[in-house]
Amino acid sequence: MIRGIAETVLYAEDITNTAQFYVEVLGLEMVRAPDDMFAAIRLTPESVLLLFDHRQSSRTGRDVPSHGATGPGHVAFLVRDLDAWRDRLKEAGVTVEKEIEWNGGGRSIYLRDPANNSVELIDRDIWPAGAMRN
Protein backbone atom coordinates (compact mmCIF):
# COMPACT_ATOMS: atom_id res chain seq x y z
CA MET A 1 0.00 0.00 0.00
CA ILE A 2 1.31 3.45 -0.89
CA ARG A 3 1.47 5.69 2.21
CA GLY A 4 2.30 9.02 0.61
CA ILE A 5 4.79 10.88 -1.54
CA ALA A 6 8.38 10.81 -0.28
CA GLU A 7 9.73 13.15 -2.96
CA THR A 8 8.27 15.35 -5.62
CA VAL A 9 10.22 17.37 -8.18
CA LEU A 10 9.92 20.79 -9.75
CA TYR A 11 12.42 22.01 -12.33
CA ALA A 12 14.27 25.31 -12.32
CA GLU A 13 17.30 26.59 -14.18
CA ASP A 14 18.27 28.86 -11.26
CA ILE A 15 18.21 26.35 -8.41
CA THR A 16 19.61 28.76 -5.80
CA ASN A 17 17.09 31.55 -6.39
CA THR A 18 14.16 29.13 -6.55
CA ALA A 19 15.27 27.30 -3.39
CA GLN A 20 15.58 30.63 -1.55
CA PHE A 21 11.95 31.38 -2.45
CA TYR A 22 10.72 28.15 -0.86
CA VAL A 23 12.80 28.74 2.27
CA GLU A 24 12.44 32.50 2.72
CA VAL A 25 8.91 33.12 1.42
CA LEU A 26 7.15 29.83 2.19
CA GLY A 27 9.16 29.07 5.35
CA LEU A 28 10.29 25.57 4.41
CA GLU A 29 13.53 23.94 5.59
CA MET A 30 16.52 23.45 3.30
CA VAL A 31 17.94 19.95 3.81
CA ARG A 32 20.44 19.94 0.94
CA ALA A 33 21.95 23.19 -0.24
CA PRO A 34 21.66 24.02 -3.94
CA ASP A 35 24.38 23.02 -6.38
CA ASP A 36 24.34 22.92 -10.17
CA MET A 37 22.12 19.78 -10.13
CA PHE A 38 19.52 20.16 -7.36
CA ALA A 39 18.40 21.26 -3.90
CA ALA A 40 16.23 19.43 -1.35
CA ILE A 41 13.61 21.16 0.79
CA ARG A 42 11.72 19.49 3.64
CA LEU A 43 7.92 19.62 3.31
CA THR A 44 6.85 17.27 6.11
CA PRO A 45 8.75 14.83 8.31
CA GLU A 46 8.37 12.24 5.55
CA SER A 47 8.39 14.26 2.32
CA VAL A 48 10.81 16.43 0.38
CA LEU A 49 10.52 18.85 -2.53
CA LEU A 50 13.44 18.45 -4.92
CA LEU A 51 14.36 21.28 -7.26
CA PHE A 52 16.32 19.99 -10.26
CA ASP A 53 17.91 21.73 -13.21
CA HIS A 54 16.50 19.67 -16.09
CA ARG A 55 19.63 20.32 -18.15
CA GLN A 56 21.63 18.36 -15.57
CA SER A 57 19.08 15.77 -14.40
CA SER A 58 18.16 14.64 -17.92
CA ARG A 59 21.73 13.63 -18.78
CA THR A 60 22.23 9.91 -19.33
CA GLY A 61 24.82 7.91 -17.41
CA ARG A 62 23.92 9.27 -13.97
CA ASP A 63 23.74 7.06 -10.87
CA VAL A 64 19.94 7.27 -10.97
CA PRO A 65 17.65 7.20 -14.01
CA SER A 66 17.63 10.47 -15.92
CA HIS A 67 14.56 12.69 -15.74
CA GLY A 68 13.62 16.23 -16.65
CA ALA A 69 10.85 18.43 -17.91
CA THR A 70 10.61 21.85 -19.45
CA GLY A 71 7.89 24.40 -18.91
CA PRO A 72 6.10 25.29 -15.70
CA GLY A 73 5.09 22.55 -13.29
CA HIS A 74 2.49 22.66 -10.54
CA VAL A 75 2.46 21.82 -6.85
CA ALA A 76 -0.26 22.39 -4.24
CA PHE A 77 0.50 22.78 -0.55
CA LEU A 78 -2.18 22.23 2.09
CA VAL A 79 -2.04 25.18 4.52
CA ARG A 80 -3.88 26.60 7.50
CA ASP A 81 -5.22 30.17 7.49
CA LEU A 82 -5.18 31.07 3.82
CA ASP A 83 -5.86 34.72 4.63
CA ALA A 84 -2.65 34.91 6.72
CA TRP A 85 -0.77 33.35 3.81
CA ARG A 86 -2.15 35.96 1.42
CA ASP A 87 -0.88 38.69 3.79
CA ARG A 88 2.52 36.98 4.09
CA LEU A 89 2.85 36.79 0.30
CA LYS A 90 1.89 40.45 -0.09
CA GLU A 91 4.53 41.46 2.48
CA ALA A 92 7.11 39.43 0.54
CA GLY A 93 6.14 41.16 -2.72
CA VAL A 94 4.71 37.98 -4.25
CA THR A 95 1.76 38.45 -6.59
CA VAL A 96 -1.26 36.21 -6.12
CA GLU A 97 -2.11 35.11 -9.65
CA LYS A 98 -5.59 33.72 -8.97
CA GLU A 99 -7.96 32.92 -6.11
CA ILE A 100 -10.59 30.19 -6.31
CA GLU A 101 -13.44 29.17 -4.02
CA TRP A 102 -14.20 25.54 -4.82
CA ASN A 103 -17.84 24.41 -5.19
CA GLY A 104 -17.41 21.57 -2.71
CA GLY A 105 -15.73 23.86 -0.19
CA GLY A 106 -12.19 25.02 0.23
CA ARG A 107 -10.22 27.90 -1.21
CA SER A 108 -6.99 28.16 -3.18
CA ILE A 109 -4.57 30.91 -4.04
CA TYR A 110 -2.12 30.52 -6.91
CA LEU A 111 1.27 32.17 -7.32
CA ARG A 112 4.46 31.62 -9.31
CA ASP A 113 7.87 30.66 -7.98
CA PRO A 114 10.99 32.24 -9.55
CA ALA A 115 11.15 29.39 -12.10
CA ASN A 116 7.54 30.14 -13.19
CA ASN A 117 6.14 26.96 -11.61
CA SER A 118 2.52 27.27 -10.49
CA VAL A 119 2.31 27.05 -6.69
CA GLU A 120 -1.10 26.55 -5.11
CA LEU A 121 -1.86 27.10 -1.44
CA ILE A 122 -5.10 25.39 -0.49
CA ASP A 123 -6.93 25.39 2.82
CA ARG A 124 -8.47 21.91 2.74
CA ASP A 125 -8.53 18.64 0.86
CA ILE A 126 -10.70 19.19 -2.21
CA TRP A 127 -10.24 15.58 -3.30
CA PRO A 128 -12.00 13.66 -0.52
CA ALA A 129 -11.63 9.89 -0.57
CA GLY A 130 -14.39 8.13 -2.48
CA ALA A 131 -15.65 11.33 -4.14
CA MET A 132 -15.41 10.86 -7.88
CA ARG A 133 -15.53 14.08 -9.90
CA ASN A 134 -16.37 14.60 -13.55
Nearest to 46 by CA among 85, 82, 2: 2
Establish if 132 belongs to a structural domain: no
34: exposed, middle or buried (Cβ count in 10 Å: 0-12, 13-18, 19+): buried
Instruction: Tell whether 134 is covered by a domain.
Output: no
CATH code of the domain covering residue 117 = 3.10.180.10
If one counts the domains in the chain, the total is 1
Residue 61 lies in a domain: yes
The total of other beta-carbon atoms located within 10 Å of residue 49's CB is 21
Whether 46 is covered by a domain: the verdict is yes
pLDDT at 128: 75
Is 29 contained in some domain?
Answer: yes
Do 46 and 40 meet the contact criterion of CB atoms below 8 Å apart?
no
Q: Tell me whether residue 38 is in a domain.
A: yes
50 belongs to a structural domain: yes
Give the pLDDT confidence score for residue 132 in this predicted structure.
63
> Average pLDDT per run of 10 along the chain, which is 134 residues long?
93 97 98 97 96 95 92 95 96 97 92 98 85 60
Report yes or no on 33 lying in a domain: yes
CA-wise closest residue to 111 among 103, 99, 123: 99
Which structural domain, as residue segments, surrounds residue 41?
7-122
pLDDT at 130: 65
29-32, strands of its sheet edge to edge: 7-11, 47-52, 38-44, 29-32
